[in-house]
Structure 1
Amino acid sequence: MASITLNNIVKKYDDGFPAVNDVSLDIADGEFVILVGPSGCGKSTLLRMIVGLEDITSGDMMIDGRRVNEADPKERNLAMVFQNYALYPHLTVFENIAFPLRLAKLSNSEVDQKVREASALLELDDHLDRKPANLSGGQRQRVAMGRAIVREADAFLFDEPLSNLDAKLRGQMRAEISQLQRRLGVTSVYVTHDQTEAMTLGDRVAVLKKGVLQQVASPRELYEQPANLFVAGFIGSPSMNFLPATHKETAEGHVLSSPIGDIPIPQDKAAAALGREIVLIGLRPEFFEDASMLDDAKRAQGSVFPSTISHVEWLGHEQYGYIDYEQDERVADRLTALAQELDADELRPQVVATLSAESLARPGQPLDLWVDTSRMHIFDPETGDNLTRDPERGAELTRLAAEDRQREIEMAQQR
């Protein structure tokens, strides 16, 4: 196992375009780090630079404290698991897993021992004599991982390994990869554009945009304390709602006037909006609820304002209410640019609110909507910065996640 350190890594192509721009990242020994972002953000390029398949324009790449910028891939002792599995169709499962051991000229007895240890770990014992064409997608993925395991590499690098699988199998393989990584305790770097994979697999997640690192944190810190509009919009499904709003002070207290209504806000949130002509407020769908479904104590933890639902989607365990509004021209260009950064066609002037499945909210009828203003984010439309982010709370969430990771590794290895 090994730590991996990236110091101010830059990758420029011949036309001068920086595919990766000044990325610094410390990956601890045994840590599972996810590189995530929309298409073209530089995550796969960064992974290929770690393994040695791409040259580094500037900066230092360190593996266990050793600079490896000029080292060949075989000298780095890293195992890569590709999207297309890269299996040899004419070889059996046994020989596919054994392939790196044959190259290393190990004895037949050593090869047999290592392959069977890996196959037992991956539940492939019944498939060792089969060819890849006769395996399911999940089984092929496990064979590719077995080949990485027998190498006893210092780290595993995954390049979108589940993108060829259907949704149900992806969920199953996510769990298997996570449990395997914990049992092995091996440093792992995993590239994906799928935020569900990022949030469920990673100890920490590095969010990239156009080659620039936006935030590195535990999944929970990214979700609860995003650094900027891009991270807030990329992490979470359904996406965070962004609403233009202006601050005003009334006899009852502070209010943010938005296209869906005047929302009373606490003093600490108001401080972020004071003196600004316009802000963007960030509200995740689950911050909302039909006010009639809440008791007085819960209602007091947020604010209630009148609204009208345009349509409702009932999902059984919950429902989504949609609220249309007129976009403010002062932020229209900023939100259009954000949509392009997020690989979305557009950010529609529409709020998505998660409502209780028992709510009787109906399209076109007035509804008292409750929102948890204590969790509201306020963003600067110009810079995109999160003006209400609590760095100390965020750091605490990531610290707790690191402690959980260590406990999980110990429990997995005891099993």
Structure 2
Amino acid sequence: MASITLNHLVKQYGDGFPAVNDVSIDIADGEFLILVGPSGCGKSTLLRMIVGLEDITSGDLLINGQRVNDKEPRERNLSMVFQNYALYPHLTVYENIAFPLRLSKGKFSEEEIDRKVRTASATLDLDDHLQRKPANLSGGQRQRVAMGRAIVREADAFLFDEPLSNLDAKLRGQMRAEIAQLQRRMGITAVYVTHDQTEAMTLGDRVAVLKKGILQQIASPRELYEQPANLFVAGFIGAPSMNFIPAHVRGEVFATPLGDIPIPAQAQGKMTQAGEIVLLGVRPEHFEDAKFVDEAKLPYGSVFETEFTHTEWLGNQQYGYIRYQQDEAVQAKLNELARDLDGDEMAPQLVVSLDASSRIRGGTQGRIWLDTRRMHVFDPETGDNLTRDVEAGAELTREAAEEREAEIERARREMAAAG
């Protein structure tokens, strides 16, 4: 396997537009890195630069410490799994998997080819389909064949370009689990492009969030979720998205459309002047029906009486929706954020998580509790997270790296024991 280093990579087209703009990332040997962002953010271009399908305008790309900017794709020993599978319809599953080995023109004997194909087939649960043609396979099976073709090459790293986007929701979930388990068992270095933040959060050791070709933040999924660097990352990561509430700083409180919120400890001293407007970032799960909040927790937040427009009951949980009067001072910034996130505008609406047994319903008043300890404060001009705890976030990513190394080691021991 391989480490991959991106040093200040830039991809500029003839019109001067930088599709990738000064991106630097160190990808460790055996790491699963996700490149994520909305359409047009440069993630697929960056992946194609790594594999050699796009020229690098400036910067250095290193594989295992060796500069490969000028090497042809076939000289980089990387395997790519494409969105459309790129299978040969006239070949059987067996021959599709064997194809890259046969291209080597005598490098492998028939016995070696057969061994490699059947090893990959057993790994991907394709033994019963080796004599079938791609047209007779399901989408998930075709994806596994494409992965099998990458496996037999014994490449230094696997690159995935939105490999699950053609599958339905159920198959995507199944294939996510299979890809994650395969990567852990083999200890392979993987770079995976997706616009689906659920894939990013469930698959990646680290996730690199891109916006308009610029790297916004790279961290473990948990650090991105709990300590986002800016408004864009906070709005992109998480489903439902983080709520952004306009607030004016007035003495010791934030004046918001919901009511006054005492400024919590993590925000003390972060604002420069009284009357300043900020955006409070609150995830849906940091709200709750006040009736279900323990007495001991109540002092660590604020309680509001508000009207709900409607609720959505999902069995194990439900969401409530609250409309409020938007502050014109931040509406333009929020609409800009919505466009960056592939939307049109950001409605003045809060999404709050409620206990599944809550009786709050649309058109009724309800008392909700907000855990202000978990609240972020953003500068609406720069988008910066004023309350980000850099060290706490870095610790989350360090823990994730240790867990990854331990998991890979366990997987290797299990493979060795199985023979």
The amino acid across from 1:3 in the alignment is S
CA distances 1:230-249 after superposition (whole Å, capped 9, x unpaired): 00000000000001101223
Alignment check: 8 A CA contact 1:158 1:189 kept: yes
The amino acid across from 1:220 in the alignment is R
Match of 1:270 in 2: 268
Distance in 2 (CA, whole Å) between partners of 1:309 and 1:260 is 12
CA distances 1:366-389 after superposition (whole Å, capped 9, x unpaired): 322101100100000000000000
Distance in 2 (CA, whole Å) between partners of 1:268 and 1:391 is 12
How many Å apart are 1:272 and its aligned residue? Answer: 2.1
Match of 1:30 in 2: 30
Match of 2:97 in 1: 97
How many Å apart are 1:299 and its aligned residue? Answer: 1.5
Q: Secondary structure at the match of 1:161?
A: coil
Match of 1:136 in 2: 138
CA distances 1:207-257 after superposition (whole Å, capped 9, x unpaired): 0000000000000000000000000000000000001101223xxxx3211
Distance in 2 (CA, whole Å) between partners of 1:318 and 1:123 is 35
Match of 1:52 in 2: 52
Where in structure 2 are the equivalents of 1:397-412 lying within 5 Å? 397-412=396-411
Q: Secondary structure at the match of 1:271?
A: coil
Distance in 1 (CA, whole Å) between partners of 2:100 and 2:371 is 55
Match of 1:68 in 2: 68
CA distances 1:293-335 after superposition (whole Å, capped 9, x unpaired): 1120122232212222122112221111111011111111101
Match of 1:327 in 2: 326
1:389 aligns with 2:391: no
Superposition RMSD on alpha carbons, in Å? 1.0
Alignment check: 8 A CA contact 1:4 1:28 kept: yes
Alignment check: 8 A CA contact 1:262 1:305 kept: no
How many Å apart are 1:54 and its aligned residue? Answer: 0.2
Stretch of structure 1 that moved more, 300-309 or 289-298: 300-309
1:255 aligns with 2:253: yes
Match of 2:417 in 1: none
Distance in 1 (CA, whole Å) between partners of 2:314 and 2:151 is 41
Alignment check: 8 A CA contact 1:247 1:270 kept: no
Match of 1:374 in 2: 373
CA distances 1:100-148 after superposition (whole Å, capped 9, x unpaired): 1111121101100111111111111111111111111111101100000
Alignment check: 8 A CA contact 1:242 1:283 kept: yes
CA distances 1:160-219 after superposition (whole Å, capped 9, x unpaired): 000000000000000000000001101000000000000000000000000000000000
Alignment check: 8 A CA contact 1:241 1:282 kept: yes
Where in structure 2 are the equivalents of 1:212-227 lying within 5 Å? 212-227=214-229
How many Å apart are 1:274 and its aligned residue? Answer: 4.9
Distance in 1 (CA, whole Å) between partners of 2:304 and 2:192 is 43
Match of 2:114 in 1: 112
Distance in 2 (CA, whole Å) between partners of 1:393 and 1:268 is 12
Distance in 1 (CA, whole Å) between partners of 2:367 and 2:136 is 57
How many Å apart are 1:410 and its aligned residue? Answer: 1.6
Match of 1:82 in 2: 82
Alignment check: 8 A CA contact 1:263 1:305 kept: no
Stretch of structure 1 that moved more, 344-353 or 354-363: 354-363
Q: How many residues align?
A: 411
The amino acid across from 1:48 in the alignment is R
How many Å apart are 1:413 and its aligned residue? Answer: 2.1
1:306 aligns with 2:305: yes
Distance in 2 (CA, whole Å) between partners of 1:147 and 1:362 is 53
Match of 1:159 in 2: 161
CA distances 1:338-386 after superposition (whole Å, capped 9, x unpaired): 0000101221000110111111113333322101100100000000000
Alignment check: 8 A CA contact 1:377 1:388 kept: yes
The amino acid across from 2:279 in the alignment is L
Distance in 2 (CA, whole Å) between partners of 1:42 and 1:366 is 45
Q: Secondary structure at the match of 1:354?
A: strand
Flag structure 1 segments of 5+ consecutive residues without an equivalent. none
Q: What is the TM-score with the length of structure 2 in the denominator?
A: 0.96
Distance in 1 (CA, whole Å) between partners of 2:174 and 2:411 is 18
Match of 1:15 in 2: 15
Alignment check: 8 A CA contact 1:321 1:354 kept: yes
Distance in 2 (CA, whole Å) between partners of 1:76 and 1:200 is 28
Distance in 1 (CA, whole Å) between partners of 2:338 and 2:412 is 43
Distance in 1 (CA, whole Å) between partners of 2:5 and 2:101 is 28
Where in structure 2 are the equivalents of 1:340-355 lying within 5 Å? 340-355=339-354
CA distances 1:75-119 after superposition (whole Å, capped 9, x unpaired): 000000000100001111111000011111211011001111111
Stretch of structure 1 that moved more, 273-282 or 20-29: 273-282
Alignment check: 8 A CA contact 1:5 1:27 kept: yes
Distance in 1 (CA, whole Å) between partners of 2:299 and 2:256 is 21
Distance in 2 (CA, whole Å) between partners of 1:49 and 1:365 is 54
CA distances 1:7-61 after superposition (whole Å, capped 9, x unpaired): 0000000000000000000000000000000000000000000000000000001
Match of 1:232 in 2: 234
The amino acid across from 1:73 in the alignment is P
Distance in 1 (CA, whole Å) between partners of 2:380 and 2:373 is 20
Q: What is the TM-score with the length of structure 1 in the denominator?
A: 0.97
How many Å apart are 1:72 and its aligned residue? Answer: 0.1
The amino acid across from 1:35 in the alignment is L
The amino acid across from 1:271 in the alignment is G
Stretch of structure 1 that moved more, 87-96 or 300-309: 300-309
1:282 aligns with 2:284: no
Alignment check: 8 A CA contact 1:20 1:211 kept: yes
Distance in 2 (CA, whole Å) between partners of 1:267 and 1:110 is 64
